[in-house]
Amino acid sequence: MSAQHPSRRNILKTAGGLTAAMAMGGAGVLAAASTASAVGDIPGLHITERGEQDHRMWYYRFQTSAIGGWTPAVNVLLPDGYHTSGRRYPVLYLLHGGLEDFITFDRFHDIRGLTAWKDIIVVMPDGGRAGWYSNPVSSNIGARNWEHFHIGQLIPWVDANFRTYAEYDGRAVSGFSMGGFGALKYAAKYYGHFASVSAHSGPANLRGGNGDLVTHWANASSAAVELNGGTIYGAPFWDQARVSADNPCERIESYRNKRVFLVAGTSPEDIQGYANETLVLATQREFKWNLDRVGIPYEQHEVGGGHYVRRDLLEHDINGIIDRLRKA
């Protein structure tokens, strides 16, 4: 999926825009990181590179068997005052779109500015160029188990090294495009991890779009730029059980008692934006219909424009996330 903001079309083109830690109570013993030297490894996740000079934005790169032949990285954006407050904070996991990465997402959308003086930690991890926040059925380039990396390794690492609330009411997940799908998938599949979920131009039904187009999209984009011909869901025949396990519209009850926030554009301006956002809009409407069917509330914005992040709605989302989660 592409970040087709009008001012950035020539900067970033995307083809595929688009944890197993147990939730612990707030009284659980967590490692408090008051200095850079306190941030360390956990089993399975070894830090190979770090940047901790900035008072807010800390950066880490890891070696992990979940991602073969490459070292995935993460930005951890700390609240102003984190180092002296002694308080614990809620965490937002913010997921980038296809052909973006955690650095371009932060820079293009000014996550630092949107969270200035707000009491929340924002974790922005690598998710692959077209990893679809999944463990693929097949890969010809080594392990690309992004779902395991995020859920089974990164969340426990964050809770072990930063002053967080390692519990349901202490975490939110949000994302753009492919990352919006990832947020919807993670929030349902790992129900006890996240109390709030947001999808900014993220597709919401793998089997929707008049022909299972999102599943085809995930398979085609991952084969082209992520897995060297491998696929997320299998080809020529899908792993149907895996599709169902990942599909937001087949896990509707898993959104009950969560804050659900959706954004889709209604008037794409170009061919690529039209292809992406028309499908996003259709699948979000299918998802919304299913939420209505079982009486699960949500907040949805259908607004003009195409397939890009809207700063005002991202800021509105972040404020809503802070209101929903446990306070610092």
pLDDT digits over 42-69, tens only? 999 999 999 999 999 999 999 999 999 8
Residue 2 above 60 pLDDT?
no
For residue 227, give the nearest of 134, 114, 120, 109 by alpha carbon.
134
Distances 291 to 7, 118, 258, 261 between C-alpha atoms, Å: 34, 30, 12, 12
pLDDT at res. 317: 98
Q: Which range (15-19, 58-62, 100-104, 297-301) has the least confidence?
A: 15-19
Residue 15 has pLDDT above 80, yes or no: no
Among residues 132, 113, 176, the alpha carbon closest in space to that of 309 is found at 176
Whether pLDDT at 188 is above 90: yes
> How does 115-129 read in b/e, with b if 16+ C-beta sit within 10 Å?
beebbbbbbbbbbbb
Q: What is the pTM of this model?
A: 0.89
Amino acid at 212: D
What 8-state DSSP symbol labels residue 162? S
Considering only 3-7, 137-141, 179-183, 308-312, which range has the smallest mean pLDDT? 3-7
Residues in Cβ contact with 193 at an 8 Å cutoff, skipping those fewer than 6 apart: 19, 21, 23, 151, 155, 168, 171, 173, 186, 187
| 196-221 average pLDDT score | 93
Residue type, 195: A
Q: What is the pLDDT of residues 108-149, one digit of tens each?
A: 899 999 999 999 999 999 999 999 999 999 999 999 999 999
Which one-letter DSSP state was computed for residue 150? I
How much is the average pLDDT of 165-194?
98
According to the model, what pLDDT value does residue 106 have?
84
**Residue 5, pLDDT above cutoff 50:** no
What is the average pLDDT across 274-302? 96
pLDDT value, residue 99: 87
Residue 284 confidence class, pLDDT cut points 50, 70, 90: very high
* pLDDT above 70: residue 280: yes
Hey, CA dihedral for 16, 19, 25, 31, is it positive or negative? negative
Q: Say whether pLDDT at 25 is over 80.
A: no
pLDDT of residue 148: 98
What pLDDT does 258 receive? 98
Which residue would you say has higher pLDDT here, 23 or 194?
Answer: 194
Distance of CA 231 to the CA centre of its chain: 20
Across the range 247-261, mean pLDDT stands at 98
Tell me the pLDDT band of 88, cut-offs 50, 70 and 90: very high
Cβ neighbors of 62 (< 8 A, separation 6 or more) are: 45, 46, 47, 48, 71, 72, 73, 74, 153
* Percentage, residues of the chain above pLDDT 90: 80
Q: Which tokens belong to 8?
A: 């950035």
Mean pLDDT value across the chain? 89
* Banded pLDDT at 230 (limits 50, 70, 90): very high
Residue 213 has pLDDT above 50, yes or no: yes
**Residue 250: is it exposed, middle or buried by C-beta count within 10 angstroms (0-12/13-18/19+)?**
middle
**Residue carrying the six token digits 């804050």:** 259
Contacts of 295 (CB under 8 A, 6+ apart): none
Across residues 243-268, what is the average pLDDT? Answer: 97
